[in-house]
Amino acid sequence: MKKLYAQFLIINNRLRAYLERLSFQHRLIKRKVLIRKVEYWIYSWHKKTWHLKDEPPLSWMLDRIAAQDVIYDIGANRGYFTLALLSRFPKAKTYCFEPNPYIYKLLNMNIHLNGWEDRGIAVCCALGDHQGKRELFISLADSASSFHSHHSASAGLNICDQINVPVETIDHLVSTQQVPIPQHIKIDTEGFESHILHGASNTLKTGRPILYIEIHNIHALGQTNEAEIVNLLNRHHYEIIKQGNQLLCIPGNK
- Model confidence over 50-99: pLDDT tens digits? 567 889 999 999 999 999 999 999 999 999 999 999 999 999 999 999 99
**Segments making up each domain of the chain, as ranges:** 47-133+162-251
Say if residue 26's pLDDT is above 60.
no
Q: What is the CA radius of gyration of the chain?
A: 18
On the question of a cis peptide bond just before residue 209, with omega within 30 degrees of 0, the verdict is no
Q: What is the pLDDT of residue 157?
A: 66
Band (153; pLDDT cuts 50, 70, 90): low
CATH class of 47-133+162-251: alpha beta
Q: Which residues contact 159 (CB under 8 A, 6 or more apart)?
A: 137, 138, 139, 140, 149, 152, 153
90 close to 201: Cβ distance less than 8 angstroms: no
Give, in order, the Cα–Cα distances in Å from 181 to each of 15, 158, 211. Answer: 40, 37, 13
Query: By C-alpha distance, which of 188, 82, 98 is closest to 138?
Result: 98
Q: Classify the C-alpha dihedral 49-145-131-233 as positive or negative.
A: positive
d(CA 183, CA 85): 13
Which DSSP helix (H) or strand (E) runs through 7?
helix 2-24
Q: Are 127 and 167 in contact (CB under 8 A)?
A: yes
Q: Label the pairing between strands 159-168 and 126-127.
A: parallel
